[in-house]
Amino acid sequence: MTTEQLIVQAVSAAKTWAATARQDRERVLVAVADALDAAGDDLVPIARRESHLPEARLRGELKRTTFQLRLLAGAATAGDHLGVRVDHADPEWPMGAPRPDLRRTAVPLGPVIVFAASNFPFAFSVAGGDTASALAAGCPVIVKAHEGHPELSDATARVVLDALRAAGAPDGLFALVHSPEQAREVLVHPQIRAGAFTGSIPAGRALFDIAQSRTEPIPFYGELGSVNPVFVTEQAAAARAQEIADGFVGSFTMGAGQFCTKPGVLLAPAGAKLLDLLRDATLPAPAPLLNDKIVSGHQRVLDQLSAHTGIEVLAAGTPAEAPASTLLLTTAADVLADPEALLTECFGPTALVVTYQDEAELVRVAEIVEGQLTATVVAQDDDAAVPELLTVLAGKAGRLLWNQWPTGVSVTYAQQHGGPYPATTAPGTTSVGTAALNRFVRPVAWQGFPQHLLPGELRDTDGGE
Amino acid sequence: MTTEQLIVQAVSAAKTWAATARQDRERVLVAVADALDAAGDDLVPIARRESHLPEARLRGELKRTTFQLRLLAGAATAGDHLGVRVDHADPEWPMGAPRPDLRRTAVPLGPVIVFAASNFPFAFSVAGGDTASALAAGCPVIVKAHEGHPELSDATARVVLDALRAAGAPDGLFALVHSPEQAREVLVHPQIRAGAFTGSIPAGRALFDIAQSRTEPIPFYGELGSVNPVFVTEQAAAARAQEIADGFVGSFTMGAGQFCTKPGVLLAPAGAKLLDLLRDATLPAPAPLLNDKIVSGHQRVLDQLSAHTGIEVLAAGTPAEAPASTLLLTTAADVLADPEALLTECFGPTALVVTYQDEAELVRVAEIVEGQLTATVVAQDDDAAVPELLTVLAGKAGRLLWNQWPTGVSVTYAQQHGGPYPATTAPGTTSVGTAALNRFVRPVAWQGFPQHLLPGELRDTDGGE
């Protein structure tokens, strides 16, 4: 289909879908989730072949994906994302003029483009969180398939399209494109109202720049990169060295380190037993990475880090048909001297351990990290360094963790998956959890309208005060 | 002060102010409002001299400004803008993994820059809505004074600074700069976390582009331009021609047409008596415009419009020491043929009346208008054209009005002052009303924290479920 045909269809679908009652949209999206669940035996083998991820992981991810679709569809019906506010008329309003009857709700933005990610071939891809939240919020979606799993993308899209059609959704509500050139044409089309992306900093920034330099700039929700630093206090390292070492190794090697929330940097006290435990840790056997591009990208950053003055290898597994897990070691002084080089994301099974001399230095490192999806504090309840550390880190990350590990992002009501740039290009938004819906609507106030002309949620009998 | 000194002060203030309890911030901002009220006799004469606006208007505007400061400060204490969400841990969470304890609140962004507007020397200037919402949300503010009222800006800043100091606010919480070059240096400084602007499309777009092309892009809340179209149905024109003519003339000439919500375009049925009434309307006597730049800008757009094929003058007052009020006339067919030229904002006492042949044509015009702050429907309760018109206009404007006029933007809880570009650069946000606070905070989720380390609003005893 030409780009213009895609857009014409999406614009037409946008009108019908926006006018569809939220509970009817939910019914349609639940049908899509059911269809995806039913197609698991067809989809998972394709996903295995294209992504090299293990079956159990992919089965779990598909379950997460359909859970997410149902959760977002239900949250959209509930309508929190509309941010309904009602002011009744008030002749005594002390502003110098009477207050009119003003009622605020939100409307869908219109057609959007979603750029799929490679590392979650279900949950952040064709029918993933961005697609689900846009559709649930009332927006048609054009997905740019990730080149890492083209067949799975097609197969998923067929299931989605068949389920949408069977459930009575308008034509053009969902479409899939493969060509990067066509995706760019879509992104700059005047009828496209937002973009969403998960991937690398250079690719995401290039698309963000395109979206912002349009005649009419549009919101671009890009999740780019994050090293997700972990701050281990002296007390915690002394009290729980083995538990911390095990937890860290488990988290940074999970999924062969191919998670956006992988703890890529861990700060530990110099001389701590924790360092010995990490040096002697049994790293998991090499697991194949998603694709050759990920393999070469991981190797390139690993080489850059390894070549940096003051970096040494703390522990490394034995490479086989896949890259080995690697722990690098440096000092906080080195990091403070060259943060850009050392606090760089190495997508894959590598992490950097940074030793600090005292907790004042620990806080200084926190102060110079860039925007992060997550920041983790591993500490004891009465640790003196913690309050200042938390204050600094709340200014740096979208999610703070206490004695837990950042991998495994729960899809919930209170989740926040997004932080200051470069973690995300729109730091006030989240791409996981029900607040992801907020990205695809825009508030509109209705002034002085009679009840019968108001959107349902603004009427006195339904949702109004 | 050098830019670096300004920023160092603001960064230092940001820490203290963010850590200040919200009710203490409210106390400080109420003290600023009180001080501004008390300084009215000093400030209003300067405002009169620099802006040429009448005394009563300026007194009312100052009242609005201090009302707004108190309302926003109170709303910040109430904490709606924090968007608190609490998920207790749930081992049965049906996603495939237990749900951790996750609690979401929001933190201030840090130092921001506010570019003041000329047309509201109090309410959208030094201590106006952007400054008030940023301070109330917990962010230090550097204001770029508008060159239209430099003395008033200095005098206002002195009152603000003295009041802040007396109330114990940290040094550097507020600063004023005059130089455009220095303002640009501030806007691109890595420690500045957002910008806010009210003014013209070219100036706003230039600043938006600077903000988005930073190494770390930042949110830029620009309110640029809007013609605020009014759609008069056939039935309404037949039933209430005199009331509509009077209301429209009153609204488009209010404040000599120098409001961002001025109804700059009115659509009326061809051949309607309303057109005769507008032709014969008594337009108000010329009032001096804000400054020479506004006078020449208004004249330039008026000349462009007047020179356009198919435009004629419907009614015009007699110019004296100031431009006369002018009503131009054209047809919907002409507008549909060249919307960019004809639906352009003419800042000052000029508006365009557009005649349509039937209500299908009325809807077609609605479909081609750009993003607007407001769109107004003047109609009867049972008008057949209204539902479709409202659906289209909800996709175009931030505020819809029903048989009311868009000038006079009430500062309330449900207000929405912002719409799709070019009305605003951040269509999901508002610069008026308590939701303006949302622009200056960013969500953060806290996972697995003990009660004593959580922000107060997330604890089970206060704000949690």
pLDDT tens-place string over residues B400-459 = 999 999 999 999 999 999 999 999 999 999 999 999 999 999 999 999 999 999 999 999
What is the pLDDT averaged over residues B137-159?
Answer: 98
* Among chain B residues, CA nearest to A57: B96
Residues of A in contact with B443 (CB under 8 A): 398, 416, 418, 428, 430, 435
Nearest to A1 by CA among A180, A126, A177, A184: A177
Spatial neighbors of B419 by CB under 8 A, at least 6 apart, are B226, B371, B372, B373, B374, B396, B397, B398, B399, B427
The answer to whether A416 contacts B445, with C-beta atoms less than 8 Å apart, is: yes
A223 is catalytic: yes
Average per-residue pLDDT for chain B: 96
Residues of B in contact with A209 (CB under 8 A): 212-213
Strand order of the sheet with strand A112-115? A174-177, A141-144, A112-115, A194-198, A220-223
pLDDT(B464) > 50: no
Spatial neighbors of A306 by CB under 8 A, at least 6 apart, are A313, A328
Nearest to B163 by CA among B196, B126, B133: B126
Measured CA to CA, the distance from residue B34 to residue B30 in angstroms comes to 6
* Among chain A residues, CA nearest to B427: A442
Pick the CATH number of B230-402 from 1.10.10.60, 3.40.640.10, 3.40.309.10, 3.30.9.30: 3.40.309.10
Of A63, A387, A427, the CB nearest to B442: A427
Give the DSSP letter of residue B395: T
pLDDT(A461) > 90: no
* H or E element that contains A87: strand A85-87
| Pick among B444, B458, B459 to test the A interface (most A CBs inside 10 A) | B444
pLDDT(A319) > 90: no
| Pick among A16, A453, A457, A459 to test the B interface (most B CBs inside 10 A) | A453
Measured CA to CA, the distance from residue A136 to residue A76 in angstroms comes to 6
Of A99, A411, A425, the CB nearest to B95: A411
Adjacent-strand bridge partners of B441 = B108
Residues of B in contact with A95 (CB under 8 A): 63-64, 67-68, 410-411
What is the pLDDT averaged over residues B373-392?
Answer: 96
Residue with token string 């659906």:
B391
Ranges A154-158, B70-74, B460-464: which has the least confidence:
B460-464
What is the pLDDT averaged over residues B74-79?
Answer: 98
Residues of B in contact with A453 (CB under 8 A): 386-387, 390, 402
The answer to whether B444 contacts A400, with C-beta atoms less than 8 Å apart, is: yes
Measured CA to CA, the distance from residue A250 to residue A230 in angstroms comes to 14
Q: What is the DSSP string of A431-457?
A: SSSGGGGGGGEEEEEEES--GGGS-GG
pLDDT(B463) > 70: no
Provide the shortest C-alpha distance from residue A434 to chain B (in Å).
Answer: 11
Residues of A in contact with B102 (CB under 8 A): 410, 412, 414-415
Provide the shortest C-alpha distance from residue A15 to chain B (in Å).
Answer: 9
Residue B282 has which token pair? 């008594």
CA atoms in the 13 A half-sphere facing the CB of A410: 27
Of B208, B213, B449, the CB nearest to A402: B449
Q: What is the DSSP string of A362-423?
A: HHHHHHH---EEEEEEE--TT-TTHHHHHHHHHTTEEEEEESS-S-S---SSS-----TTTT
**Structural fold of domain B3-224+424-458:** Aldehyde Dehydrogenase; Chain A, domain 1 (3.40.605)
The answer to whether A410 contacts B442, with C-beta atoms less than 8 Å apart, is: no
Residue B35 has which token pair? 């001080």
pLDDT(A463) > 50: no
**Exactly one of A234, A260, A346, A370 is catalytic; which is it?**
A260
Of B387, B435, B442, the CB nearest to A428: B442
Of B64, B103, B441, the CB nearest to A414: B103
Provide the shortest C-alpha distance from residue B91 to chain A (in Å).
Answer: 12
Nearest to B238 by CA among B274, B212, B201: B274
The answer to whether B64 contacts A110, with C-beta atoms less than 8 Å apart, is: no
Residues of B in contact with A204 (CB under 8 A): none
Strand order of the sheet with strand B141-144? B174-177, B141-144, B112-115, B194-198, B220-223
Residues of A in contact with B82 (CB under 8 A): none
* Among chain B residues, CA nearest to A426: B219
pLDDT(B465) > 50: no
* H or E element that contains A174: strand A174-177
pLDDT class of B462 with cuts at 50, 70, 90: low
The answer to whether A93 contacts B453, with C-beta atoms less than 8 Å apart, is: no
Measured CA to CA, the distance from residue B416 to residue B32 in angstroms comes to 25
The answer to whether A444 contacts B398, with C-beta atoms less than 8 Å apart, is: yes
pLDDT class of B319 with cuts at 50, 70, 90: confident
* Among chain B residues, CA nearest to A436: B443
Q: Is B445 helix (H, G, I), strand (E, B) or coil?
A: strand
Catalytic residues of B: 223, 260
Q: Where does residue A19 rank: exposed (0-12), middle (13-18), buried (19+ CB within 10 A)?
A: exposed
Residue with token string 């009602």:
A86
Provide the shortest C-alpha distance from residue B385 to chain A (in Å).
Answer: 12
Measured CA to CA, the distance from residue B103 to residue B449 in angstroms comes to 9
Give the DSSP letter of residue A285: P
What is the pLDDT averaged over residues A95-100?
Answer: 88
Of B19, B408, B415, the CB nearest to A445: B415
Residues of A in contact with B86 (CB under 8 A): 414
Provide the shortest C-alpha distance from residue A373 to chain B (in Å).
Answer: 10
Pairing status of strand B350-356 against strand B265-269: parallel
Q: pLDDT for B158-184, tens place per residue?
A: 999 999 999 999 999 999 999 999 999
Distinct helix (H) and strand (E) counts, chain B: 16, 15
| Pick among B207, B402, B437 to test the A interface (most A CBs inside 10 A) | B402
Measured CA to CA, the distance from residue A360 to residue B183 in angstroms comes to 34
The residues spanned by each domain of chain B are 3-224+424-458, 230-402
Q: Is the peptide bond before A91 cis (omega within 30 degrees of 0)?
A: no
Spatial neighbors of B51 by CB under 8 A, at least 6 apart, are B58, B118, B121, B148, B149, B152, B290, B291
pLDDT class of A114 with cuts at 50, 70, 90: very high
The answer to whether B445 contacts A86, with C-beta atoms less than 8 Å apart, is: no
The answer to whether A107 contacts B395, with C-beta atoms less than 8 Å apart, is: yes
pLDDT value for A462: 56
Q: pLDDT for A50-89, tens place per residue?
A: 999 999 999 999 999 999 999 999 999 999 999 999 999 9
Provide the shortest C-alpha distance from residue A386 to chain B (in Å).
Answer: 9
Task: Evaluate whether B453 touches B462 at the Cβ level (below 8 Å).
Answer: no
The answer to whether B425 contacts A209, with C-beta atoms less than 8 Å apart, is: no
Alpha-helical segments (H) within B288-422:
292-307, 332-337, 339-342, 359-368, 386-394
Residues of A in contact with B428 (CB under 8 A): 219, 438, 441-443
pLDDT value for A96: 78
What is the pLDDT averaged over residues A422-430?
Answer: 96
Q: Is B258 helix (H, G, I), strand (E, B) or coil?
A: coil
Measured CA to CA, the distance from residue B95 to residue A150 in angstroms comes to 26
Spatial neighbors of A381 by CB under 8 A, at least 6 apart, are B450, B452
Of B391, B413, B425, the CB nearest to A19: B391
The answer to whether B452 contacts A381, with C-beta atoms less than 8 Å apart, is: yes
pLDDT(B200) > 80: yes
Provide the shortest C-alpha distance from residue A446 to chain B (in Å).
Answer: 5
Q: What is the DSSP string of B112-129?
A: EEEEPPSSSTTTTSTTSH
Provide the shortest C-alpha distance from residue B318 to chain A (in Å).
Answer: 31
pLDDT(A370) > 70: yes
Of B19, B97, B443, the CB nearest to A398: B443
